[in-house]
Structure 1
């Protein structure tokens, strides 16, 4: 889930996405060139590469960036499903690259990977376990390519479902797990998000919002969580800052990032939107059954980045789970001016938190 609601919103946008959504003028080309030049890794021991490699029968696109190959490696599992971070990481990541080598990949059905794959062949494979297997295979691939014993695994939103399961299945691959906008129990998240939206709407005297929300109450209740109910339930929590603190439901800065991304061209951008439509019906039902509440032991250090205003994947269940779970090391880091989009909303604080709480956990064996 970066997040199921983004998936729903992007699916709507995808229906109208055309070539007009891609910049073609001289000014646009110059702007892209400036960003590409700023993003160039020029240090002697740096790495900068974007390429496709076969993983689980699908050509996955991978992006690797960092100023020193000796730095710890972050493997970032994006949200959505099918909302890749590759076209927007230029907005927040440049500082990370001085201290980490950062790896992104477009998951099956997402972005550049969706563009290069046979959609009919991939459609039947879109299940959580397959995404987890992909993440593990990519971790093994990156570990060998960069000569590392282990990686730092970071998941965002939907990517926390994939990331948590990958860490539980193969703890030997990872120094630590970092959850950003962590999903713990989907139905609980839905209830808390709905209650927040209704409480804010009533306090605001927003009769339209109250009427819409009460029309699906109790939510989720005992009824199926359908796409139509999700759209109503999530509309108003986002309006009141539950996705982007202080920005209402605004996401233009995130959607627009791909227009200037050095890694994405026009066809990739269209695939970004199309991938959301492609994956929606395939994964929604399974996603709605996700539940990590029974997990009482976590095999590796775990750090949770918690947005104080996050009501897309509400932070309270994650903080409570972290309090009671047994792990070699655990830490909660609160972001007081962020909701769900922490790296984009508080990029400086995110880097500081990675340096203070995560990088010290990444100690390589001298024999590697």
Structure 2
């Protein structure tokens, strides 16, 4: 399976492979999972570690909650994709954050463990961006009540920023602040910038194959439909030259995270690709029309984490939007050694930036009586 992350959309394309290579080390994976599970156990009496289903948007959706102190502010983290769940990868970067926040992740409709809960044919009519936004709002309301919080911090990554921005604009009363990581402002503008970067890098490296393939889809995005095939061609080379993970031509650490995840079994891991293939075609037309450039006023504090090398959701449109938007509080944080995968690439700076720019907004707020 060849995997490409597109401006918030995980594209999976079939390729030849040897299934035996995937199966031969299951026993070793199981042993490793137990080590990671033991290390990651929340043992503090004040902590919380839960994984459960909740009825959200008319279906059961899986929620994962972890934190060392229930009194800490809650972050609701909206994952990318679509259908690229974060829960199987949280063991890679999240533990330090859990000392200062209670982190809530959920597998969205059509994603991961949630995908396994509901027959796909019953979901088809609900795979639309407004429904995902309403789901995020329902999760926020559920979490707020369950953990006795007045509000939560809303954080989105990649595709999740489309949902997060929509939820913050629709129900600002639920959130202390919004944090966008790899923010999508304009899909079409992102595509243009990513393509130009891929062409520039291909020429700089005299990569004739890349130059030829990129020329075949030019002008891009142009007036032709943005088909999955055209997007895969562009994304392949933008990400090959570090546009997904800085200084790397691949991001296998992320795509293979589920193999060692203590939160996922083999069936859940298989659902990642299945859910992606199910969701992508249904959401792609709507995703390609996403454009938040006309949002001139934001109702809550907004913080943007921007990878200097991000050519999956390029940061320049986000920086430009942030400079002109009016908000109660706004901050932009540049991650000089990151592309799109900021929490993985610069986890220390991610933690420090959340502590400096976001946590005070929740800690200083009046508490529920």
What range describes the TM-score normalised by the shorter chain of this pair? over 0.9
Q: What is the aligned partner in structure 2 of residue 216 from structure 1? A: 217
Q: What is the aligned partner in structure 2 of residue 189 from structure 1? A: 190
How many residues are aligned here? 365
Match of 2:88, SS state, is coil
Cα distance between partner residues in 2 of 1:5 and 1:184: 10
> Does structure 2 conserve the Cα–Cα contact (< 8 Å) formed by 1:19 and 1:266?
no
Give the drift of 1:123.
Answer: 1.4
Give the drift of 1:11.
Answer: 4.7
Give the drift of 1:28.
Answer: 2.8
**After the TM superposition, which segments of 4 or more aligned residues of structure 1 sit over 2 Å from their partners?**
2-13, 15-30, 363-368
Give the drift of 1:270.
Answer: 0.5
Q: What is the aligned partner in structure 2 of residue 366 from structure 1? A: 367
Q: What is the aligned partner in structure 2 of residue 245 from structure 1? A: 246
Cα distance between partner residues in 1 of 2:272 and 2:166: 25
Q: Sort the Cα spacing of 1:7 and 1:366 in 2 relative to 1 into closer, same or farther, 3 A.
A: closer
> Does structure 2 conserve the Cα–Cα contact (< 8 Å) formed by 1:23 and 1:259?
no
Residue segments in structure 2 that go unaligned for 5+ positions in a row: none
Cα distance between partner residues in 1 of 2:124 and 2:323: 38
Match of 1:64, SS state, is strand
Q: What is the aligned partner in structure 1 of residue 201 from structure 2? A: 200
Q: What is the aligned partner in structure 2 of residue 297 from structure 1? A: 297
Give the drift of 1:27.
Answer: 3.4
What is the aligned-residue RMSD (CA, Å)?
1.8
Cα distance between partner residues in 2 of 1:282 and 1:83: 15
TM-score of the aligned structures, taking structure 2 as reference length:
0.95
Range with bigger deviation, 115-124 or 87-96? 115-124
Q: What is the aligned partner in structure 2 of residue 317 from structure 1? A: 317
> Does structure 1 conserve the Cα–Cα contact (< 8 Å) formed by 2:150 and 2:367?
no
Q: Sort the Cα spacing of 1:10 and 1:22 in 2 relative to 1 into closer, same or farther, 3 A.
A: farther
Matched, 1:347 2:341: no
Residue segments in structure 1 that go unaligned for 5+ positions in a row: none
Q: What is the aligned partner in structure 2 of residue 169 from structure 1? A: 170
Range with bigger deviation, 73-82 or 212-221? 212-221
Match of 1:333, SS state, is strand
Cα distance between partner residues in 2 of 1:297 and 1:5: 24
Give the drift of 1:324.
Answer: 0.2
Match of 1:362, SS state, is helix
> Does structure 2 conserve the Cα–Cα contact (< 8 Å) formed by 1:8 and 1:231?
no
| Structure-to-structure mapping, 1:19-58, within 5 angstroms | 21=22, 25-58=26-59
Give the drift of 1:366.
Answer: 2.6
Q: What is the aligned partner in structure 2 of residue 126 from structure 1? A: 127
Q: Deviations over 1:172-215 (max 9, x none)?
A: 00000000000000000000000011011112211221111111
Q: Sort the Cα spacing of 1:3 and 1:206 in 2 relative to 1 into closer, same or farther, 3 A.
A: closer
Q: What is the aligned partner in structure 1 of residue 73 from structure 2? A: 72
TM-score of the aligned structures, taking structure 1 as reference length:
0.95
Matched, 1:273 2:278: no
Q: Deviations over 1:264-308 (max 9, x none)?
A: 000000111110111011000000000000000000000000000
Q: Deviations over 1:119-167 (max 9, x none)?
A: 1101111000000000000000000010000000000000000000000
